Amino acid sequence: MDTFRANEVFEIAIKIEENGEKFYRYAADLAEERNSKEMFTFLAGEEVKHKKTFEAMLSGVEDYQPSESYPGEYFAYLRAYAEGLIFTPEKLQSELAEVKTVEDAIDFAIQREIESILYYIEAKNLVPGNQKDKIDEIINEERRHYLKLVGAKKK
């Protein structure tokens, strides 16, 4: 059975945000139309801010034991879920190869925003109470990103 380490929640979140930044920079390069390029560049910057937030949370993490019905199972579930969100360089390259148009990039980004939101909602159950508000802030920002992408798709 897996041993829970609170810092892993934040290490995974940092990797998710790094992947998001790389993707949005790729999408900005792909975009020819100014509004799309600006949107993707903005979203890349947002991922950088989120990464810094999680790095600060990671540096302040203490030994924390979340309440679980089955010790280790909840974190094992969360880690398994996150594996789909974190790309190795090879996996990232393969995913990006499928994104050939701005529409593809928007569809891909919408899916990743949803998956990130779900991860952060679940991760909140594994962090101390004094860090839940910061995660809520990031969840709300990710929701705004989702809405921005959906709005761009409708145009």
Tokens standing for residue 155: 């145009």
If phi over 0 gives left and psi between -120 and 50 gives alpha, with beta otherwise, what is residue 151? Answer: alpha
Could you read off the pLDDT of 30-57 as tens digits, one per residue?
Answer: 999 999 999 999 999 999 999 999 998 8
Q: Give domain limits for the chain.
A: 6-154
For residue 1, the model assigns a pLDDT of 40
- Among 9-13, 27-31, 116-120, 143-147, the minimum mean pLDDT is found in 9-13
CATH topology of domain 6-154: Ferritin (1.20.1260)
Angle between helix axes 102-123 and 73-83 (nearest 10 degrees) is: 170
pLDDT band for position 64 (cuts 50, 70, 90): low
